[in-house]
Amino acid sequence: MIWLSEVDRQIRRRLAQIRLPFVGVIKRTGKAPQVAGLNGELFPDTPHIQHVGIASALPLDAEVVMLPLMGKTARVVIVGSRGGLTVDVTEGEMCIYDQFGHKVHLGAGGIDMVGHVAMQDGNVSTTGHLSVGTGASGSFVSLTGQVVTVANGVVINITGAQ
């Protein structure tokens, strides 16, 4: 049975060479951030794997989950992160947010947005009611083709077909 213990020893030795996922901290931001491992290792130019259609720039000192590809420390990628602000969501909800307090929260009550919204080359349409807050200004086209002009939250003119 000596050969069996030698096989066991060889297997354990090989398994010990496989690096498991670990946690690090962002020390330099950018497209390929620098990450410090919790035991002092430094990983320069670490790729950040993200879903197609989602792009985010990790803030300094964010905590990240590192995955060694093929178990090798020399081939690590970032696969998850957390840090800065956190937003509470309940079952079935989703929230996109940044460290500056802006957010788009999709929940049972609808979509809640916090922060300035700038829309380029597009229209906003609704088949429901449009509420305009105090201080709002601009022109809107109603479903009946009327142009409604608002200044400082007050309708000042309505023109066009009905």
Q: Is the pLDDT of residue 160 over 70?
A: yes
Q: Is the pLDDT of residue 1 over 70?
A: no
pTM over cut 0.85: no
Say if CB 24 and CB 37 are below 8 A apart.
yes
Measured from the Cβ of residue 55, the count of other Cβ atoms closer than 10 Å reads 8
pLDDT digits (tens, 9 = 90+) for 92-151: 999 998 888 899 999 998 999 998 888 787 777 777 777 777 778 888 887 788 888 888
- Residue 112 CA, distance from chain mean position: 16
Q: How far apart are CA 29 and CA 71, in angstroms?
A: 25
pLDDT digits (tens, 9 = 90+) for 29-65: 988 899 999 888 999 999 999 889 888 889 899 999 9
Domains, the chain, ordered by start: 2-82 (2.40.50.140), 85-119 (no CATH), 132-162 (no CATH)
Q: Is the pLDDT of residue 24 over 80?
A: yes
pLDDT at site 142 = 78
Q: Is 37 exposed, middle or buried (0-12, 13-18, 19+ CB in 10 A)?
A: middle
